[in-house]
Amino acid sequence: MQERKIISSKKAREKIEQISLSKYKNSVVFGSLFLACFAFGEPLSNVQSNPQSSLQSGAQSSEANAYTGDNAESSLDSSKDFGTDSSLDLSSSDSSQKSSFSKDSSKDTDTKPAKKPTSIVERENFSLIYTGWVESFSKIGFNNQSIDANLGKYPTDSFSAMVGSFGLKSELKSQIQTLKAGLSVTAGALVYDSSSESYPGGTGSVMDEYIGMWRGFDTGGNVSKRHYYVVNNAYLDYELKLGAKSGFYLKGGRYESSAEYMSGYTQGFEVGLNLSNLKLWWFSSYGRAFAYGQWLVDFYAPRGYYNTDANGNNVGKFIHNGIHAFKATYSFLGLDIIPAVYFSKGTYIAPIIEARYDTKRDFDGKGFRSQTTVHFMNPLHESRVVGNYRYGDLVGKEAQTLYIKQRFDINQYNFGLGLYKNFGNANAYIGTIGNPLSLDLWTTTAYDLGRNISDMIGKDAITPFVFVGGKHFDNKFSWNFISRYSDSKRSEEASIAGSLSYALGGGLSVGVKLEWLRDTTKAGYRVGSNGSGSINSVAGASSGDTKSTPKRTDDRSHSFIWVRYEF
């Protein structure tokens, strides 16, 4: 479906994953160079995302995963301009329809009408516009039970946030070349926080992992520090048309990621070469952030780490090798064959093969369309991380993920089914900071592992799901329902969710999601953080030994409500 810990304070959270021409010509060029310098020149120590500290690593290394915001993706997060597959936005059409400059996208995109940005300068070959939005987002958890860390008993979190963004975009173009530049800042704050009695986002908060958490780019800083702003866009994007169906592009700086396994905003670059039926794409990221209505986290290094001594203490310098990917897409009629590889030196390399078949690439909401996706990934883990505990279970040398999805469109309606299956702990280091799965991975409780991550990504997990949806009134009104069942080594989950959204016009839109979610944590596991060197030792519990912890079932039902204005 789509893309969301009290004991005494921050302790209940798992410290996981680390957690971007005329007289106008010269001004645009110099302005673009300034943006590039800004994007790449800012000290890495001034960037962030989802703080929590690495309690998952063993004696060999300490994962800089103080942030729990792996894949802060929510199809119901209306603050996204565009983005990943989302569980409750399954009504959107596949991006295989996109142009030759579609960057990396095998994802569904939102087709709702967007407010036209306001022009500052509009010329034949040059334009400068400003864009912005303000959003109020709330999550309401329906389970307010008291906390017992020894039993893994926690409430379902509730919070409200106000977030806004303002930016400038320019475009300089000729017959065969286009140079785009963008700069934007997003800021906000929590206005309600069920985990903090003093004030929203206080030192005992676990909701700050949605909004404002900041422990430094390496995630090793003070847990009580906050950043309520992020420079999420500062980029240059150059495109060169080589022919009717061929082109080249290079994009660098801070911008919204187009990579399936790297969601949010990235700090890095990507390059693409499209030669008729063949598309080649390279992606390199050296930082990740969130700038949405539900998630606001400054840039951080999701796969950075320190080497550690025998006692688990950090030694030496922070190692940040980045996350990289290469993908080739060969298209023939309605078929796409896509070999790819993602890797982060010192952590993993993940070969991928995907096949997609689309009966009507130019589908416009009329008639019939069938889309079939088969996606297989085989992560190979480096010896540094083999034997670590991730999301409650050990990391092996290799593991696999199989994802199958079938979608049908009949006019403005859509329906389908899918299956997501892990063999081993395949999503230990890839698949949580971005995932092609069209389901929301963040729907349990913020007191649990990885900022409420679902065990859909767990060891040996299997998740079948079905969905139905539609769009009406010139795509202004959309509705979606989805049901899933997930079973992993750690837990069992069952969910039914529905969403409604409506674009009222003038840039104003509203939406709501209601989800019933039953979450059963199996015997021997606990809701809460994973201590280093043990499977489920929960900070704040009187004992780290969870072998005798009984099975428990919790109601994780909740609602999302948002109001958004674009200008």
| SS3 of residue 146 by DSSP | coil
Task: Write down the pLDDT at residue 93.
Answer: 35
Of the pLDDT bands very low, low, confident and very high (cuts 50, 70, 90), residue 84 is very low
Residue 489 tokens, joined:
């080594």
pLDDT tens string 391-401: 888 999 999 99
235 with 35: CB under 8 angstroms?
A: yes
pLDDT tens string 14-45: 333 333 334 333 443 334 433 433 333 333 33
Torsion of CA 291, 34, 102, 508, to 10 degrees: 40
Q: Looking at residue 61, what DSSP letter applies?
A: E
Task: Give yes or no for residue 484 having a pLDDT over 60.
Answer: yes
For range 218-238, the mean pLDDT: 89
Task: Write down the pLDDT at residue 218.
Answer: 86
Task: Write down the pLDDT at residue 72.
Answer: 31
Name which of 139-153, 218-232, 258-272 the model is least confident about.
Answer: 218-232
Report, in this order, helix, strand and coil percent for the chain, each rounded to 5: 5, 45, 45
Name which of 53-57, 201-205, 408-412 the model is least confident about.
Answer: 53-57
Name which of 98-112, 216-230, 236-250, 486-500 the model is least confident about.
Answer: 98-112
Q: What is the pTM of this model?
A: 0.80
How far is residue 305's CA from residue 318's CA, in Å, rounded to a whole number?
6
63 with 530: CB under 8 angstroms?
A: no
Task: Write down the pLDDT at residue 531.
Answer: 38
| More confident: 311 or 530 | 311
Residue 295 tokens, joined:
């998630």
Task: Write down the pLDDT at residue 61.
Answer: 38
pLDDT tens string 175-209: 999 999 999 999 999 999 998 878 888 877 888 88
Task: Write down the pLDDT at residue 544.
Answer: 59
Task: Write down the pLDDT at residue 412.
Answer: 97
Domains and CATH numbers, the chain: 10-566 (2.40.160.10)
| More confident: 75 or 415 | 415
